[in-house]
Structure 1
Amino acid sequence: MDFTASDRISALLPRLRQFVAEEILPLEADPASYDGHENIRLDLRDAVRARARAAGLYAPQMPEARGGLGLTMAEQAAFYEETNRSIFGPSCFNCAAPDDGNMRCLEMTATEDQKRRWLQPIIDGTVNSSFAMTEPHPGGGSDPGMIRTRAERHGSRWRIHGHKWFISGAAVARHFILIARTDPDMGETRRHLTAFLFHADQPGWRIVRRIGNLGPDEHGGVCELEFDGLEIDDGDRLMQVGDGLRLTQIRLGPARLTHCMRWLGLAKRSMEIAKAYVETREGFGLRLSERESVRIKLGEVAHDIQIGRLLTMHAAWKLDQGDLARKEVSSAKIHVADTLHKAVDTAIQLCGARGYSTDTVLEWIYRYARAARLVDGASEVHKMVLARFYEKEGSDYWRWG
């Protein structure tokens, strides 16, 4: 495992860092840059995206033939981390959730016609997208075997009935990926789910509400959806009937890891703000940075961030080798979610009242960070995954190669 940066990413990173510093970071200080849910205004985002595309810094995860950069997962780890030096960064480079995971999933699973109709508009930035899987109890959340939203076949069409909630991005999405049960047997099987594509304008479904939360929100928030006879043509089915669970695994593994990549950028930004403050703030005859207690806090977080980077890069490397990297992704997600919270909490403590105020973005990151231990599988679920691997593999859990 050689984590030396490739020539390609080494050439991109200085340009990317300069773009973030000059084009995006200044926007954070202007209240007019924000929408009503504390994210960058979509019209402003689109203007920055146009400049990012012109600079050759757009859609890093997509093939060059589709207008992207065609980076490997290992290269994306460095790229995504740098984009999230700004809270607005990932969205401006079109590598923010949920579009990021949806684009990756469609590129890997869709037919060429489906890619033309459903994927390319997301890459081009003309539409936002959403992934509709999670359901309220007794439906499926972390356990897809419990999914109850059903798709019933009527000739060449499928009719959808059911209930979804906490669906990221739904309020602004135009293109949706839907996971529904096509096996009427409510028992847990491996072939009970199928994935479908639908457009926001199709009748037979509605957004019940945009669910309020601690925030800030991704564009489109998290929404509750109701399906009451939505009809989907069989040509808009993704993969084969019964392949829905396989598709969720294809999507969610890399998506969890790209969360880690972005969160590491936010953790580093938090410490950057804290470091700048403690190096200038004086009290009782010393700069804060000269106090051993402060230095220990900074050292601990720097240590944890570096562990998170190594876990993330290892998982990215495994994915590049064609491995599902389930253990590695779960380990990275557990650690990086904890590290993000620790980093921003430490930064707020070191910055005092200034960190708690809206004079910095630390309070924004702090609220955002709390979701990290929940989204794309709660930390407890990922620990259960690791326990199952250990029970099965024993000492081979740590094997080389």
Structure 2
Amino acid sequence: MDFSLPPHIDALRLEVRDFINSEVIPLESDRSNFDAHENLQEDVLAAVRDKARAKGLWCFQMPQARGGRDVGVMGMAALYEEAGRSPFGPVVFNAAAPDDGTMILLEKILTEPQKERWLQPLVDGRVRSAFAMTEPDGGCGSDPSLTYTRAEKQGDKWVINGRKWFITGAEGAQHFVLVARTSDDDRKGLTAFLFDADQPGWEIVRRIGIMGPEEHGGHCELRFDGLEIPDENRLLNVGDGLKVTQIRLGTARLTHCMRWLGLARRSMEIAAEYVERRMSFGSTLAEHEGVQWMLGDVAKDIQIGRLLVMHAAWKLDQGDFARSDISMAKIHVADTLHKAVDTAIQLCGARGYSKDTMLEWIYRYARQARLVDGASEVHKMVLSRSYLAEKNSFFRWGL
């Protein structure tokens, strides 16, 4: 594969970088711009989103006919990475989780009338979404077969009862994708549905407090008590819940990695600026060999992550599922993000540990990277199974 970007994608990448530098990063230094959950206030976010959309920097993952830029997954890798240099960049461009994964899923599987109802409001930025799969008390997380929230068919509707938790963005979301059990079949027992926040029969039990700063809408626990969903809002066929989940999570896992690479780069930018001017024993920190080893080691790992992500993106653009490639990228980039920000804090000393920079924000956020969309250990298990099944064929070139 050719790692050079097409000229129009590279030009767009530089536009994204300039916008992050001029419009988004300056917002970080004023804590009055933050809400109680350490994200941008809604009015501040709305204003900067308007600016981004006016410049055409909007929904890189969506077709142009819907108001996006349709840059392909490789283009997304380059643009999301630049957007991710600020924690608030992706949501400014309407390219943040969970909405970007929901949009990609719905664009692939809905009919045109359904897209107008459920997808277009997301693309336009008028509503937000959430993906409700994980459950408490022994329910599904990385193992969807443990799903116990049930959907029972009654006439032309489905009645939902059960619970979900750690549902990102649920508070304030309007459109939900819900995975529920419709039979006890091991492979075809789950079905996915769409529902609207205004429908009765469900509630947010609580917004779960977490260690790190939160996305808009937090991570919530939900209770379903007789939620009725028309059969027309079922996604694909009955029993295709796992298929829907894999369609959504495949690209979504990789877009996490794209954004995390941006945060890793930003962490090192902050560190590099500091060590180049901070004096220690007669020379700058950057002139100390030990500091150079630390910077060089992280730069290496970031570049490895970029290559893993771009290779997986290339395979997705070719129509491949790229499951092993995405798992490798997810494991490596999650580790690299933590390593990058931890190194940056160490190099910046007390300043890095303080709130004078975004490093402590990124550090707390980074810990979730090894958990979300499949814990690193689960992805290693997936890789092991693939290797044992393929042996030397696992290490192939191309698709």
Q: Which TM-score applies when normalising by structure 1?
A: 0.98
| Matching residue's letter, 2:41 | R
* Contact map agreement 1:37 1:215 (CA 8 A) in 2: no
Cα offset, 1:17, TM superposition: 1.2
Superposed CA offset, 1:307-327 (max 9, x none): 000000000000000011000
Cα offset, 1:18, TM superposition: 1.2
Give the structure 1 partner of residue 76 of structure 2. 76
* Ranges in structure 1 where 5+ consecutive residues have no aligned partner: none
Give the structure 2 partner of residue 393 of structure 1. 390
For 2:393 and 2:264, the matched residues in 1 are separated by 32
* Contact map agreement 1:253 1:326 (CA 8 A) in 2: yes
Give the structure 1 partner of residue 302 of structure 2. 305
What is the aligned-residue identity percentage?
66
3-state DSSP of counterpart to 2:45: helix
* Contact map agreement 1:263 1:336 (CA 8 A) in 2: yes
For 2:63 and 2:32, the matched residues in 1 are separated by 34
| Matching residue's letter, 2:267 | S
| Matching residue's letter, 1:193 | L
| Matching residue's letter, 2:198 | D
**Stretches of 4+ moved more than 6 A in 1?**
none
Cα offset, 1:247, TM superposition: 0.5
Q: Does 1:349 align with 2:352?
A: no
Q: Which TM-score applies when normalising by structure 2?
A: 0.99
3-state DSSP of counterpart to 2:227: strand
3-state DSSP of counterpart to 2:368: helix
Question: Over aligned residue pairs, what C-alpha RMSD do you find?
Answer: 0.8
Give the structure 2 partner of residue 85 of structure 1. 85
Give the structure 1 partner of residue 325 of structure 2. 328
Q: Does 1:199 align with 2:164?
A: no
Cα offset, 1:2, TM superposition: 1.2
For 2:43 and 2:388, the matched residues in 1 are separated by 51
| Matching residue's letter, 2:269 | E
Give the structure 2 partner of residue 107 of structure 1. 107
Give the structure 1 partner of residue 268 of structure 2. 271
Larger deviation: 391-400 or 330-339? Answer: 391-400
3-state DSSP of counterpart to 2:174: strand
Superposed CA offset, 1:65-107 (max 9, x none): 0000001100100000000111110000000000010111111
Cα offset, 1:400, TM superposition: 1.8
For 1:246 and 1:17, the matched residues in 2 are separated by 35
Q: How does 1:39-50 map to 2 (within 5 A)?
A: 39-50=39-50
Q: How does 1:1-400 map to 2 (within 5 A)?
A: 1-183=1-183, 185=184, 189-400=186-397
Cα offset, 1:137, TM superposition: 2.9
Cα offset, 1:294, TM superposition: 0.1
| Matching residue's letter, 1:87 | P
For 2:275 and 2:297, the matched residues in 1 are separated by 16
* Contact map agreement 1:139 1:147 (CA 8 A) in 2: yes
Superposed CA offset, 1:160-212 (max 9, x none): 001100000001101100001111x2x6x221111111111111001110000
For 1:150 and 1:113, the matched residues in 2 are separated by 27
3-state DSSP of counterpart to 2:180: strand
* Contact map agreement 1:166 1:222 (CA 8 A) in 2: yes
